[in-house]
Structure 1
Amino acid sequence: MGSCDLSLLTPLVFFSLLLASHHVQVHSAIGVNWGTVSFHKLRPSTVVDLLKANKITRVKLFDANPDALRALMGSGIQVMIGIPNEMLSTFNSDLFVRQNISRFIGKGGADIRYVAVGNEPFLTSYGGQFQNYVVPAMLNLQQSLLRSNLASYVKLVVPCNADAYQSNVPSQGMFRPELTQIMTQLVSFLDSNASPFLVNIYPFLSLYGNSDFPQDYAFFEGTSHPVLDGPNTYYNAFDGNFDTLVAALTKLGYAQMPIVIGEIGWPTDGAVGANLTAARVFNQGLINHLLSNKGTPLRPGSPPADIYLFGLLDEGAKSTLPGNFERHWGIFSFDGQAKYRLNLGLGNRGLKNAKNVQYLPSRWCVAHPSRDMTQVADHFTRACSEADCTTLNDGGSCSQLGEKDNISYAFNSYYQLQMQNEKSCDFDGLGMVTFLDPSVGDCRFLVGVTDKHLSSSAKSMARWSIYHICIGVVVWALTA
């Protein structure tokens, strides 16, 4: 589901919706996606303090997590909550509004501005299983918001993947034929209720999935492979993708509909091309591009209304089915520490780290230096089926380790997941605890945080998603 590093002294200003009136534009800000599919979770209050320290005033959640919403109360941060696709066919809209909006919103409460109905429900890979539920769910939810006197403040949106539209050149953009009817209904609803079109754009995935995709076209520093489209020339994938959507909306009669970027970013690990340098160059280039207020060829001088970087924190328990990079999208590591210098254009010249993070003691589990490791394969697989070993794979920050260090990394990941339980470093005598940090170069051997809360169901999901990569990992990791 991407060198500038300039000192940006002017606050990031570009057009947005004034939610209380129809299509009025005001100043806006960059937001972030706050995902929580992690083994090592920070306290929600710590995350909110991190957002405030970095002057981030927009946050997008993928559900209506009550702990997150309670932490956001009184923060002044505008919030988008989400309804998972699986809920669309059965959820009770009145109950949802009462439980997830009404009880949190109001003076001194959480500033809930958007509800995301589904998450990329029209994705091609879903085979249409969710798309017929989207509009009915929106209509029911809108009625519930009206009954609660919240419809003028809380707006409904549908996060769409960029595969909802298609074209060889941006000006010919159109929605997929099988989506034309539902998109016409959706866009009409959005327009009549002063809601923007929400789209997720990922140049990294275009590069990752297509060996012929020009690498420099994914970034914002110019390209040797520009896309020519009549009188317009496109020098980066973002502008081309954005204008393809503009053209598709225009064909439906909504040329001026505000567009919000719900997700965009670049991962830092887990694949070739996913690294700290590329992520910094992409994200800083994106911010600088928006700050310039140039817009795009089809919308000159009018950048997206809002933009939500993906993501805030790494999520080490996410499924790796799309790729091992899925766990490494954060601009901060799992513990709220900035991965690279990034000026968000919000007043700070660089990212500020999370404060008062409660770590476990500074100790690690490693492979015992004097033990024979010929029988370690089962232990290695077990460790990686429970914990996260994605950085060991090709292109990862730990992919150049030797055999013993591969084993140590797996042992330590499991040990930290088990909150440094002494028995969890035994591995039939093959592991040992050390007080010397075994990190090597950019390969970080983590120390867990004490704020970990992971339900048994979430842990089971994570275990399933991790296991499928470990069979492949163990084969080469022990022969490196």
Structure 2
Amino acid sequence: MGQGQGHSRTMTWLVLMVGLVLQGLVAETQGLACNWGSRASHPLPPEIGVKLLKDNGFDKVKLFEAEAGPLKALGNSGIQVMVGIPNEMLQPLAGSVQAAINWVYQNVSTYISKYGVDIRYVAVGNEPFLKTYKNLYVTTTFPALQNVQAALIKAGLGMQVKATIPLNADVYQTQNDLPSGGNFRSDIHDLMVSIISFLSNNGAPIVINIYPFLSLYADPNFPINYAFFDGTSSPVVDGSIVYTNVLEANFDTLIAALEKNGFGSMPVIIGEVGWPTDGDPNANAEYARRFNQGLINRIMSGKGTPRRPSPPDIYLFSLLDEDTKSIDPGNFERHWGIYYYDGTIKYALNMTNSRSIVPAKGVKYLSRRWCVMSPQASLSDPNLPGSISYACSYADCTSLGYGSSCGNLDARANASYAFNMYYQSVDQRQGSCSFNNLSALTAIDPSMGSCRFEIMIDTGTHDKKTTSGSSRSSRWGLGTAFWFVLGLSSLLIRTN
């Protein structure tokens, strides 16, 4: 073997090895995106949350508000960030460029320059054109977007950070029930075209939230397999295209609307999509695993839709359960996380590179004790219904609802669950397990079957934390909690 021939073979081997290494790096860096909400009474510590994201291959995250803890923790993490502005701030931002300049300086420029946060998008509002809002934000959303974009440009961030608006899929519709008939809602058509034109001129994407679960929730006759990615029993035929799942059909309805209005190449991000695990018969771990695994598989395979073969960025909704969200749309609202509130795993998922989902590490909990109905207490005690109502007015009892994970408990266990949720929500405060001599403390975990009796994260304070993050359910009020606890008390009375 000559020296030149050996050198050539060595170089060939090196090139092959470098190629394999680069392929591995590309595969390793292909990641996922998710929403990280903050409406939790005992939020996961931000540093643990960021580690949870990284350990599971998430390289993009959407926050609903510019909260200091999560943003600082995301600094120099390698995770790209979309940071949100709540709808309540749209009016002042719409009325003052200086207000937008101040907001961008405090919540974007500072975190980028001081903490190394990789902010890529500012989400101006959250689904502001929902029909249920009755035009509340119609006149302020676009001016707020314009002012925030102007503020980003003034800060020298116009190329690095893009302002956009996360929109609900109800901003478009179809007249013939087929994706090809898609167009923007008639009452906001001209406004939508103006906004999309502005986004396009500034190199920003349109962000759309799509929820197949809500289609099933709203219509008992909705073909259930059509909500998932592995069902073909109810296809929708649109000319030469056959749709086998609602996500593709819904997304392509938007694409058709964009094409009709001259924006066929407009970049699109799916800002929220997921499946809840509790609070409704169709909100369960089996369905959530089926949907989210199918979604992750699509993302990792780079699959698009018939009208848009190139895949969009998709932000999974969501990372964690949030126990203080409004339940007006349904008890499921607090259970969208792929993790429980504390970062423990709900169900098996294969994430990036087929690695199994892993839990949060380093979480510290309150003491291992639970508040339950006393064995000596009577179900006929006249104070019992009022005690349960009180507990569920201040704590999350949505898992007790019909078809939920704790929906099959007997009357005594119902009361125990309510008492414990209150006791944990106030950090096991001394005297908080005292319901008219109906309750007692126990060191034996009362969890049974699918029903978890929680112990909360030790947040390091005995003052109940109030969170201000504006997640998806902030569109609704809080009144349903009152009717929920009344219904729970009635259920208890009927079971006696």
**In the TM superposition, what is the alpha-carbon distance from 1:146 to its structure 2 partner?**
1.1
What does 1:59-458 align with in structure 2 at a 5 Å threshold?
A: 59-91=61-93, 92-106=99-113, 108-167=115-174, 168-300=177-309, 302-304=310-312, 306-344=313-351, 346-347=352-353, 349-373=355-379, 374-375=381-382, 376-451=384-459, 454-455=464-465
Report sequence identity in percent.
48
1:307-365: per-residue Cα shift (whole Å, max 9, x none)? Answer: 11111100001000000000000001000111111122x23521111111010111101
CA contact (8 A) 1:388 1:466 kept: no
**In the TM superposition, what is the alpha-carbon distance from 1:422 to its structure 2 partner?**
3.2
**In the TM superposition, what is the alpha-carbon distance from 1:455 to its structure 2 partner?**
4.3
Counterpart CA distance in 1 for 2:186 and 2:211 is 22
CA contact (8 A) 2:32 2:57 kept: no
Secondary structure of residue in 1 paired with 2:326: coil
**In the TM superposition, what is the alpha-carbon distance from 1:190 to its structure 2 partner?**
1.3
Residues 439, 378 of structure 1: CA spacing in aligned structure 2 closer, same or farther, 3 A cutoff?
same
CA contact (8 A) 1:207 1:215 kept: yes
CA contact (8 A) 2:274 2:318 kept: yes
Counterpart CA distance in 2 for 1:298 and 1:12 is 30
Structure holding more helix per residue: 2
Counterpart CA distance in 2 for 1:477 and 1:11 is 57
Counterpart CA distance in 1 for 2:390 and 2:374 is 17
Amino acid at match of 2:374: H
1:191-223: per-residue Cα shift (whole Å, max 9, x none)? Answer: 111111100000000000012210000001122
Counterpart CA distance in 1 for 2:41 and 2:107 is 25
Counterpart CA distance in 2 for 1:13 and 1:187 is 32
Amino acid at match of 1:119: N
Secondary structure of residue in 2 paired with 1:233: strand
Counterpart CA distance in 1 for 2:84 and 2:299 is 26
Counterpart CA distance in 2 for 1:225 and 1:473 is 37
Counterpart CA distance in 2 for 1:329 and 1:160 is 19
Corresponding residue number in structure 1 for 2:48: 46
Identify unmatched segments of 5+ residues in structure 1. Answer: 1-9, 15-26
Counterpart CA distance in 2 for 1:238 and 1:198 is 14
Residues 108, 199 of structure 1: CA spacing in aligned structure 2 closer, same or farther, 3 A cutoff?
same
Greater Cα offset, 448-457 or 161-170: 448-457
**In the TM superposition, what is the alpha-carbon distance from 1:454 to its structure 2 partner?**
4.6
CA contact (8 A) 2:326 2:478 kept: no
Residues 129, 108 of structure 1: CA spacing in aligned structure 2 closer, same or farther, 3 A cutoff?
closer
**In the TM superposition, what is the alpha-carbon distance from 1:106 to its structure 2 partner?**
3.0
Which structure has the bigger radius of gyration?
2
CA contact (8 A) 2:145 2:163 kept: yes
CA contact (8 A) 1:29 1:307 kept: no
CA contact (8 A) 2:193 2:261 kept: yes
CA contact (8 A) 1:386 1:463 kept: no
Amino acid at match of 1:361: S
Count of paired positions: 455
Amino acid at match of 2:345: A
Amino acid at match of 1:261: I
Residues 199, 298 of structure 1: CA spacing in aligned structure 2 closer, same or farther, 3 A cutoff?
same
Amino acid at match of 1:336: G
**In the TM superposition, what is the alpha-carbon distance from 1:12 to its structure 2 partner?**
12
Counterpart CA distance in 1 for 2:80 and 2:480 is 32
1:175-203: per-residue Cα shift (whole Å, max 9, x none)? Answer: 00111111111111111111111000000
Residues 365, 454 of structure 1: CA spacing in aligned structure 2 closer, same or farther, 3 A cutoff?
closer
Secondary structure of residue in 2 paired with 1:88: helix
- TM-score, structure 2 as length reference: 0.88
Secondary structure of residue in 2 paired with 1:334: coil
Secondary structure of residue in 2 paired with 1:429: coil
Residues 364, 276 of structure 1: CA spacing in aligned structure 2 closer, same or farther, 3 A cutoff?
same
Counterpart CA distance in 1 for 2:260 and 2:114 is 42
Greater Cα offset, 44-53 or 356-365: 44-53
Counterpart CA distance in 1 for 2:127 and 2:467 is 23
Residues 28, 52 of structure 1: CA spacing in aligned structure 2 closer, same or farther, 3 A cutoff?
closer
Secondary structure of residue in 1 paired with 2:431: helix
Identify unmatched segments of 5+ residues in structure 2. Answer: 1-22, 94-98
Amino acid at match of 2:458: T
Residues 405, 336 of structure 1: CA spacing in aligned structure 2 closer, same or farther, 3 A cutoff?
same
Counterpart CA distance in 2 for 1:206 and 1:340 is 23
CA contact (8 A) 2:426 2:464 kept: no
Counterpart CA distance in 1 for 2:30 and 2:239 is 32
Corresponding residue number in structure 2 for 1:467: 482
Counterpart CA distance in 2 for 1:272 and 1:98 is 46
CA contact (8 A) 2:41 2:464 kept: yes
Greater Cα offset, 232-241 or 465-474: 465-474
Amino acid at match of 1:420: Q
Counterpart CA distance in 1 for 2:308 and 2:479 is 44
**In the TM superposition, what is the alpha-carbon distance from 1:295 to its structure 2 partner?**
1.8
Secondary structure of residue in 2 paired with 1:336: coil
Residues 203, 12 of structure 1: CA spacing in aligned structure 2 closer, same or farther, 3 A cutoff?
farther
**In the TM superposition, what is the alpha-carbon distance from 1:102 to its structure 2 partner?**
1.0
Relative CO higher for 1 or 2, CA cutoff 8 Å, sep ≥ 6? 1
**In the TM superposition, what is the alpha-carbon distance from 1:467 to its structure 2 partner?**
2.9
